[in-house]
Homo-oligomer: A and B are copies of this chain.
Amino acid sequence: MKVDIKKVAEKAGVSIATVSRVFSNSELVKQTTKDKVLKISKDLNYIPNPIARSLSRQLTDTIGVVLPDLVGEFFMDIIHGIDEEAYKQNWFVLVSSSHSKRNILETLIEFMGSGRVDGVILMAPQMDERINEIIKRSKRPVVLINAGGDTNNNANFKIDNYKGAYSIVEHLIVKHKYKKIAMVEGPKDNYDAIDRSNGYHKALQKYGLSKNEAMVVEGDFSVEGGYHGFKKLMSQKEKPNAIFMANDMMAVGAYQAAKEMKIKIPENIALVGFDDIYLSQFLYPRLTTVHVPIAELGSKAVIHLLGMINNNKKKNKSFIEVLPTSLVVGESCGCK
């Protein structure tokens, strides 16, 4: 026995329009009738059907979130940031963690084309032309998270990878006077990785340390990548004094390699990472790393997206906000 607006209207002796207005918090309904309707609704256990409401209003109160598979460690924090903010403002969150690039596209098309959501938060560490195309064609607003490359005319929230990398390398140079600072980089088609590498090089240059090919090896942001990168660096005849791993996961791999090779951190080699993932605080010695405000990224994206939706500002002409990172000093760099 389903109860709809009509039944409520009937029982309350008013028209369905009035009932609708009550539930839309319209001011133009008398308090006494409002109370009456609300009471009847409660008795009948009536909740307005959001699907019908969506159809009529052309709004779904739902935002779509598309995440790539690879965010692993961040996944939870991002969703949390997004969900929390969305919940506060009474919105729903439709997630899809894509399992492939094709999947990203499909989901995006579904989301955008079909009125299933009012806007989308998209995390695409590497934008490609087709994704851009879909966004451009769509009528619904999109907010990018940590997108790199050509994000033309989109809102984009990102981490300050460059400064983060710069400052942690600077720490190694200024505080510890290391001269030979190596780096295990991230995947070269990943924009986070690229910015981090740039920060590294800039810091070296700033402090007059010469560039040394042998001190930079490519990694892939994985534990194994870090493991091998570390071994490679530490097997050369010219060994570094310190290594900057482009992310914490690789630092974890480095810890394992160090253990195997009986190399002591930080006595024999200083090590720093990037991301401040949850795990890193439990490494011993505590990893020195760069904290990135992931949850904040999510909530900021939501706030911005909701703003776009409400103001009907479809395209917010290339808005970019870069969230600052902060240094987390542990003992792996040689501090105290």
Contact = CB atoms under 8 A, between A and B. Distances in A.
Contacts of A84: 99
Interface stretch (A11-19, A75-83, A214-222): A75-83
Interface of A: 45, 47-52, 54-55, 60, 62, 72, 75-76, 79-80, 83-84, 87, 92-97, 99, 103, 109-110, 113-116, 252, 255-256, 259, 278-279, 282-284
**Main secondary structure on chain A at its contact with chain B?**
helix
B115 A49 contact: yes
15 contacts: A49-B55, A50-B114, A50-B115, A51-B115, A51-B116, A55-B55, A62-B94, A75-B79, A76-B76, A79-B79, A87-B103, A92-B116, A255-B282, A259-B284, A282-B282
Nearest to A54: B51
Contacts of A80: 75, 97
Contacts of A103: 87
A45 to B, nearest CB: 8
Contact of A97 (B83, B97, B259): B83
A94 B92 CA distance: 7
